[in-house]
Amino acid sequence: MSLKLVLEMFPIALMFAAPIIMAALGGLFSERSGVVNIALEGIMMVGAFAGASVTVVLEPVTSMAPWLGLLVGILAGMVFSLFHSFASINLKADQVISGTALNILAGGLTVYLCQIIFRQQRTRAFSSGLRKVTVPLLNKIPVLGPMFFEEIYPTFYLAMILVALTWYIVQKTAFGLRLRSCGEHPQAAASMGIDVYLMRYAGVTISGALAGLAGATMVLTQDIQYTISSIHGTGFIALASLVFGKWNPWGVLGAGFFFGFAQILSYYAKDIHFLAALPQEIFYMLPYALTIIALVVFAGKTVGPKAAGEIYDKGKR
Amino acid sequence: MPKIKANKANNSKIMVPLFAVALGFALGSIVVLITGKNPLMMFNAIIQGSTGINLARGGFNPRHIGELVIQSMPILLTGLSVGFAFRTGLFNIGAEGQLMAGSLAATAIALTVKAPVFIHVPMVLLAGMAAGAAWGAIPGFLKAKFNVHEVVVTIMLNYIALHFNNWSILKVFGSVDRVKTAEFPVTALLKDPWLAAITNGSRLNWGFIPVIMAILAYWFILEKTTFGFGLRAVGFNKDAAKYAGMKVERNMVMSMVIAGAFAGLAGAIITTGTFSFGRALTAAEGYGFDGIAVALVGMNKAPGILLAGLLFGMLKTAGPLMQSAGIPREIGGIIQASIVMLVAMKLGLERILLLFRGNRQGLSFLSPDSEEAGV
């Protein structure tokens, strides 16, 4: 494995890591507020569908189409996540089942709308998604330049900013403290005058925005159109990154990198001497197998929000 | 007096899924309306898909009834799989992967073993069950031993099963067209020309016999055996079951093993009944998610799962008919997801139902003093 190969792998790995990180940050907001969001996958599908559709439709009109696609992806994710909030916060639904329902719904709804709008099982292909950028000057830094600043999708930088922003909001602001208190002990939070319902709505809606952004990012950087298998489990990998990253934004960042690299090994295995002999399918399985291993290693030591997944009832003491 | 009360409680339990189904279809109709199509065409397709009678144009085709059975069989079994795990307090989203493991094992036995039909077919089915059981044992073991949440593990195992299946089909068993293996010998197949003939050329096969046996086994194990009681006890209250001296960890693993066997059987039936060759798949086919819907709507009880399996089988057979009437078949998925969502809101729905009956308790809907605090 030469240095050249590593340098070559980096931008691709970052491309795969960005949506995982974004969606995992979404999961972080939701779980910190006390709502388990297994619907990240489904929300990503909706975001990806919305992003791809808007890009296809607006492409002839404006060169900003992919960016508008990202924006609409965020909005679509927020709206879609409201189902989850309403079901699990107001109607006290089991959060895992409600999330599963959204995952099923996302598959049906997006392909249904594809058929209505594009008369086929997928969106029409867009001619160009987001464009890669090269950061002037910084790309001249030896080693680091080609790794992080040459031919990189801007969404990767967006993901980095979101990590820092999430850390600041969750750990350093009053809002973040209130959010976390709802995920640790909602009754205690309520006794201090915090509106638990409102905070949980905020957590899930922010998670919808981030997962929607993640989905749109994924389709606009890794695909040419939205199909039912565009997201292929990335939402669940994001969920595992959250556990792996110990519900901490910086941990999520590390886990995202890890899974980003795991995903691209299948493309580069043939160039890596000791991996070339293994069948391609092994590498397809790898990210998912690593997820399980990561969960086993970190289970028991989990430091997740105590009340995540618990239905909040004002009457409980 | 207490007896009447229990009856009433039971009634409202049955009301929730029925209400959810009705509301789910209503929501589906609204989606169809909004997108400029006629919901009546959707219902016509559903009726035609399940009875063979075309109300709009007249005519009867028994092929649809055969197809209804074919479509219901696998989701009934994945429904049993999900339901069985639910009864032990586990959420098995991995029925899809267990099904693929079963289908792969069935392919292996069908292609490599030479035996007369009355030995070959049971071998194929048992191999499918064993492989599904083994695949289900993994999340069960990880949950029991390391307390890893079964939901993420089973989802990951679905993807691993998919790629493992494709690798085996293409590289181990070999494929000429990169899609399927060679045809199985006739001795391995559940197909029967007679069954196809009486249903006007449908894919109906003998798979319904093991499916009926599976439903009976599900009911018998859970409701009539001490072992089943132990499993349900873990589902009700893990700590209490442990305190009562039950082997909680072992029960969790066993529950996932049996759940996996149901799903594995589905894989074997699809592979040697609906098809006659092993298949490489581009993506999961959704039987696992269908199973979740079937189990939830069927309230994890054998008769309920049977009815719910037929209900969602109906939606599936209606798919192509809707498509040809200009309504995208994915509306079936949308209706299904709405129903799952509504069943998940059980607590909320129960109170809405009480409200309809003018019960005063219902008026305290979402009030702070509700009795079912934080369940």
Model confidence pLDDT, tens digit, residues B165-196: 999 998 888 877 878 898 899 888 998 888 88
Calculate the CA dihedral of residues B236, B239, B240, B243 and round it to 10 degrees: 150
CB contact under 8 A, B345 and A240: no
From the CA of A164, how many Å to the nearest CA of chain B?
27
Could B334 and A105 be called an inter-chain contact, meaning their C-beta atoms sit closer than 8 Å? yes
Q: Which of these ranges, A144-153, B111-120, B141-150, has the smallest mean pLDDT?
A: A144-153
Report chain B residues whose CB lies below 8 A from the CB of A91: 345, 347-349
CB contact under 8 A, A91 and B147: no
Q: B109: which 2 tokens? A: 């036995």
DSSP B174: T
| Contact status, residue B199 vs residue B205, Cβ threshold 8 Å | no
Do B219 and B305 meet the contact criterion of CB atoms below 8 Å apart? no
> A195 touching B, CB under 8 A?
no
B346 to chain A: which residues are within 8 Å by CB? 93
Question: CB A91 to CB B149 under 8 A?
Answer: no
> B337 contacts in A (CB within 8 Å)?
101-102, 104-105, 108-109
Interface touch B337/A313, C-beta < 8 Å: no
Using a 10 angstrom Cβ sphere, with 0-12 exposed, 13-18 middle and 19 or more buried, the burial of residue B194 is: exposed
Residue B334 has pLDDT above 60, yes or no: yes
**Local structure of residue A132 (DSSP, 8 states):** P
Task: Tell me: pLDDT of B25 over 90.
Answer: yes
Inspect the interface and report whether the beta carbons of A104 and B333 lie closer than 8 Å. yes
Task: Name residues whose C-beta falls within 8 Å of residue A6's C-beta, 6 or more positions apart in sequence.
Answer: none
Q: Which of A49, A94, A228 to mutate to test the interface with B (most CBs of B within 10 A)?
A: A94
Percent of chain B with pLDDT over 70: 91
Residues 6 or more apart whose CB falls under 8 angstroms from that of A112 comprise B31, B35, B328, B330, B331, B333, B334
Q: What angle do CA A216, A218, A223 make, to 5 degrees?
A: 105
**Does the beta-carbon distance from B331 to A102 stay under 8 Å?**
no
Strand-pairing partners, residue B180, are B279
Q: Is the pLDDT of residue B374 over 50?
A: no
Look up tokens 């200009």; give the residue.
Answer: B326
The helix, strand and coil proportions of chain A, stated in percent and rounded to the nearest 5, come to 70, 0, 30
Q: Give the separation between CA B53 and CA B42, rounded to whole angstroms.
A: 14
Q: How far is CA B198 from the centre of its chain?
A: 27
The pLDDT of residue B364 is 44
**pLDDT mean across residues, chain A:** 89
Q: Is B330 exposed, middle or buried (0-12, 13-18, 19+ CB in 10 A)?
A: buried
DSSP H or E stretch at residue B76: helix B63-87
CB contact under 8 A, B368 and A315: yes
Please report which confidence band the pLDDT of residue A30 belongs to, taking 50, 70 and 90 as the band edges. very high
- Average per-residue pLDDT for chain B: 87
Half-sphere exposure of B189 (CA within 13 A, CB side): 17
Instruction: Give the Cα separation of B150 and B143 in Å (integer).
Output: 6
CA distance A15 to A159: 10
What does the pLDDT read at residue B2? 47
Phi, psi at A152, each rounded to 5°:
-115, 145
CA pair distance B206, B121, nearest whole angstrom = 10
Those residues whose C-beta lies under 8 Å from the C-beta of residue A289, and which sit 6 or more positions away, are B156, B160
Q: Does A306 touch chain B (CB under 8 A)?
A: no
Q: Which residues contact A159 (CB under 8 A, 6 or more apart)?
A: A17, A18, A19, A21, A22, A217, A256
Residues A185-240 pLDDT 10s: 998 898 888 999 999 999 999 999 999 999 999 999 999 999 998 998 899 889 88
To test the contact with chain A by mutation, choose from B147, B160, B324 the residue with the greatest count of A C-beta atoms within 10 A, namely B160
Confidence band (pLDDT; 50, 70, 90) for A134? confident
| Nearest residue, CB atoms, B374 vs list A91, A299, A311 | A311
Q: Which two tokens stand for residue A180?
A: 């976390």
